[in-house]
Chain A
Amino acid sequence: MSEQTVILFTYFVLAAFIGFEVISNVPTILHTPLMSGSNAIHGIILVGALLIAANAQTPLQIVLGLLAVFMATVNVVGGFVVTDRMLEMFKARQPGGEKGKES
């Protein structure tokens, strides 16, 4: 294992802990938007898709790259838009009440 791999692995482990920690207090009412929002975040695969598509040359590479960029874009764009639509409906509330309350 190279030093680089160890560093990457460190990022991985730390990110896993943050991922657990950061959503541990989410109230039930936000589960669906949260799932949708995190779904949009893994659309970061678009970066990966661009990296492999950018220097595509053979027909196979072109097909793979095109499909990957297309699907990743659907994931990221659709994901954020649909999450925003869900959350938009929570916004028109009067402030106060027991919004953040969790049982």
Chain B
Amino acid sequence: MTIAIATELIYLLAAVMFILGLQFLSSPRSARHGNWIAAVGMVIAVVWTVMLLRDSFTTAGLIICVVGFVIGGVVGVVSARRVKMMAMPQMVAIFNGAGGGAAALVGVAALLKLAGQPIELQSGFPEVFAVIIGGISFAGSVIAFLKLQELITGAPITYPGQHLINALLAIVILVLAAILLVTNSSIVVVTFMLALVLVLGVTFVLPIGGADMPVVISMLNACTGLAVAASGFALNNFALIVAGTLVGASGTLLTRKMSDAMGRSLVNVLFGAFGQVQVSKEGAQSTGARTVRSGSAEDIGTLLAYSSSVIIVPGYGLAVAQGQHALKELADLLERRGVEVKYAIHPVAGRMPGHMNVLLAEANVPYEQLKEMDEINDEFKHTDVALVVGANDVVNPAARNSPGSDIYGMPILNADQARNVVILKRSMRPGFAGIDNELFYDHRTILLFGDAKDSLTKLVAAVKAA
């Protein structure tokens, strides 16, 4: 068996493990094994590559491979171990950005290898593609990270002529790519193209609101996959093509599932500059002067303690406050008193689909109590109390009733149909989408202001006393 054939077989083995890994990741029982299988596939592919290269390392090459690998490994492990569950989405964003950046740099290096000579279209085209898509993914992921980490405002940043500027940037980039492919490899053109690609990545994500970041991250994840696949074409490498394409395809599907969950098209997410300051047209004037009813923890504790059924609607505010353990304590307490407790999980609760499940799992909330939207939406009208903890947009009736609203058409949880609605909230500030919420002004609604964790702790005490 020649080395070349062994290589193909080993990369095939790695590819099979990636496919199995993804398959196992799609079921709760086997998900963790799936991740391990994929990781082992990765180790196999990387170790074999190093074996292949062992005679061709230059001294400098060997040093940078070792140094890059060690530092990268340490940074990866430490940041992945330290990150709080709540900050998971931005962590995924930054890892994705790193991958996109690496794909872009691989493309750049390949393009510059034959400096001054004509580029072969067959390898040149995928190289250019990897630089463009990988670069956009890198810059876009960094912006997504900054927005979610709230280092820059989560609100959409818009300016006149935005789409036009982006379109022009894209055209110039394509022209540069064409120049590169028909003339000789040139470091000036490549550098210029890379710079513009990074600018485009930034300007592309800036106008998208923080609430839509998960969709954007998912899309950029798919993009990185495609950039990696393109590098695979350029380097003639089976493993890169298959793994990159797998991620590109599954990431695209996941992105579509996410925007579907919000009831909006992907185009609208990416180009709609959603959640701009203009509050929903008809709601704007009417809500200004209206009052809300806020209650004390004791009142609400009593209400909860003497109800027979409670549905908890957890949202991002819960995650921010790290209140999931206090919430679990409250739920346990209520259950011991014979109250039926369920959790209603909106598909986009938190910052990513499934994010809320991860957080609640951390607090040992049993799976059986977590209900998905379609499962539980009919139950609200027979429920005594809907307890909304740090959620807002996912229970906003404007999505159902107010065609002028930006979130109109998004499927929501029918918390407004419960006999009583209790909302734990930090302040009257609108939610992440920047839209006012009718539900707060409803006569059946009681608000308890404050940090979600503090409020929950007070409620625990109040229920105990009731």
The answer to whether A78 touches B91 (Cβ under 8 A) is: yes
Cβ contacts under 8 Å, B39 to chain A: 40, 80
User: How big is chain A's contact interface, by range?
Assistant: 35 or more
Q: CB distance A81 to B76 under 8 Å?
A: yes
Find out whether the CB atom of B22 lies under 8 angstroms from the CB atom of A47: no
Question: Known: A19-B245, A86-B88, A90-B361. Contact between A47 and B64, CB under 8 A?
Answer: no
**Bound state CA distance, A81 and B370, in angstroms?**
26
> Which residues of chain A are within 8 angstroms of B29 by Cβ–Cβ distance?
99-100
Taking CB atoms, residues of chain B closer than 8 Å to A25 are 26
Question: Shortest CB–CB separation between residue A92 and chain B, in angstroms?
Answer: 7
Most buried by B among A8, A46, A88: A46
- Please measure, in the bound complex, the distance between the C-alpha atom of A61 and the C-alpha atom of B245, giving whole angstroms: 27
B237 at the interface (CB under 8 A from A): yes
Which residues of A (11-68) have their CB < 8 Å from a CB of B? 11-12, 15-20, 22-57, 60-62, 64-68
A85 to B35, CA, bound (A): 10
- B253 and A69 form a contact (CB under 8 A): no
Q: A26-B25, A29-B354, A99-B28 are in contact. Are A55 and B102 (CB under 8 A)?
A: no
Across the interface, which residues of B come within 8 angstroms of A8, CB to CB? Answer: 232-233, 236, 238, 241
- Whether B221 pairs with A48 at a CB distance below 8 angstroms is no
Complex Cα distance, B343 from A34, in Å, reads: 22
Supposing A19-B247, A51-B237, A98-B367 touch, asked if A72 and B38 sit within 8 A by C-beta, the answer is no
CB atoms of B60 and A56 under 8 A apart:
yes
| Closest chain A residue to B249, Cβ basis | A19
Per the 8 Å Cβ criterion, residues 31-76 of B in contact with A are 31-32, 34-36, 38-39, 42, 45-46, 49-50, 53, 56-58, 60-62, 64-65, 67-69, 71-73, 75-76
**Is B154 on the interface with A (CB-CB < 8 A)?**
no
B253–A20 touching, CB < 8 Å: yes
Instruction: Please give, as numbers and ranges, the residues of chain B lying within 8 Å of A30 by CB-CB distance.
Output: 25-28, 31, 354
A-B contact count (CB 8 A): 394
Complex: A87 Cα to B33 Cα, angstroms: 9
B28 CB contact (under 8 Å) in A29, A41, A55: A29
B72 contacts which chain A residues (CB < 8 A)?
69-74, 77
Which of A16, A34, A72, A80 is the one whose CB lies under 8 Å from B245? A16
Question: Given A22-B19, A70-B72: A29 and B370 within 8 A (CB)?
Answer: yes
The CA-CA distance from A27 to B62 in the complex, in Å, is 44
Give a binary string over B208-240; 1 marks a CB under 8 Å from any A CB, 0 the rest. 000000000110010011011101110111111
Whether B61 lies near A65 (C-beta < 8 A) is yes
* Any A CB within 8 A of the CB of B460: no
Check if B431 is an interface residue, CB within 8 A of chain A: no
Q: How many residues of B contact A (CB 8 A)?
A: 118
Complex Cα distance, B375 from A29, in Å, reads 14
Would B92 and A53 count as touching, CB distance under 8 A?
no
Task: With A44-B244, A74-B75, A86-B358 as known contacts, state yes or no: A69 contacts B99, CB within 8 Å.
Answer: no
B109 touches A52 (CB 8 A): yes
Selected from B80, B109, B243, B372, the residue in CB contact (under 8 A) with A61 is B109
* Max count, chain A CB within 10 A of own CB: residue among B26, B79, B122, B240: B26
Is B290 on the interface with A (CB-CB < 8 A)?
no
Chain A residues packing against B (C-beta within 8 Å): 1-2, 4-5, 8, 11-12, 15-20, 22-57, 60-62, 64-94, 97-100, 103
Question: What are the 10 tightest A-B residue pairs by CB atom distance, in nearest-first order?
Answer: A73-B72, A19-B249, A69-B68, A78-B76, A77-B76, A75-B99, A31-B353, A15-B245, A81-B80, A31-B354
18 A-B pairs with CB atoms under 8 Å apart are A8-B236, A23-B253, A28-B261, A29-B354, A29-B370, A32-B358, A34-B250, A35-B352, A36-B88, A41-B38, A42-B224, A47-B240, A52-B110, A53-B64, A60-B112, A62-B61, A74-B79, A82-B83
